[in-house]
Amino acid sequence: MKVRLADKVALITGGASGIGRATALLFAREGAAVSVADLDETGGQAVVARIVESGGRARFVNCDVTNADDCRRAVRQTAKALGGLNILFNNAGIIRRSTVLEITETEWDRVMAVNVKSILLLSKYAIPLMAEAGGGVIINTASGWGMIGGRRAVSYCASKGAVVNMTRAMALDHGGQNIRVNCICPGDTDTEMLRQEAQQLGTPTEQFLAEAAQRPLKRIGKPDDIAQAALYLAGDAASFVTGTALVVDGGGLAG
């Protein structure tokens, strides 16, 4: 069976868990060599081990995505070790559930650094390599709350709205270099971060998850649901798709 990412090299941030982990495993099954970037070395190395055990190529890079030196090193080490860089999945993200009155300046800055600045830094170092190689793909993780507002999530909504429009701007700037830039807007997805939201809000986890499932498809997303969307955007099936925000949310934004 033909694999869709044969001979491609992908760098995935937040790759040790959740959506990043599911995407790393899927990309590897589809033929890509994968660089798993995260601060969680134990989790990241476990993802790499699974890929290697299955006959794939992968490496872990310890990376603080808010630090320029770390981001530069992650890109360079990926290209050197795996033979280039074709796909950058800017997936790392955090959430702080709070209003303008509740959030501290430090918390605000951290959310914006992880969710937005990281895309600037990784893309800044990846794009020259992609351009030199004749093109590439950048995928950014935004959110349904990058399209509409949400209660007690002001910093997250602000950051993900920035990701959506940053994606459009990057697509305009780099289309001439044959670099496609798109973002995914997931709905509530079954990850540790979703459970952290319940804790931050002081809501029982099962109640929180049940409420999150109240959407047309009557369930929350699975990491694999989002990984499949990333695979589509990374592959040739999306060769004429750039500057788009792909909503993957079980119908949550439909009305």
Nearest alpha carbon to residue 18 among 251, 237, 226, 209: 226
Active site residue 156: yes
Active-site residue identified among 156, 179, 182, 209? 156
Give the bridge partners for 11, in sequence order.
Answer: 35, 88
Rounded to an integer, what distance in angstroms lies between the CA atom of residue 194 and that of residue 204? Answer: 12
For the chain, strand residue ranges (E) read 9-13, 33-38, 58-62, 87-90, 136-141, 179-186, 245-248
**Cβ–Cβ < 8 Å for 65, 13:** yes
Angle at 95 between CA 70 and CA 244, to 5 degrees: 80
Q: Which residues are catalytically annotated?
A: 156
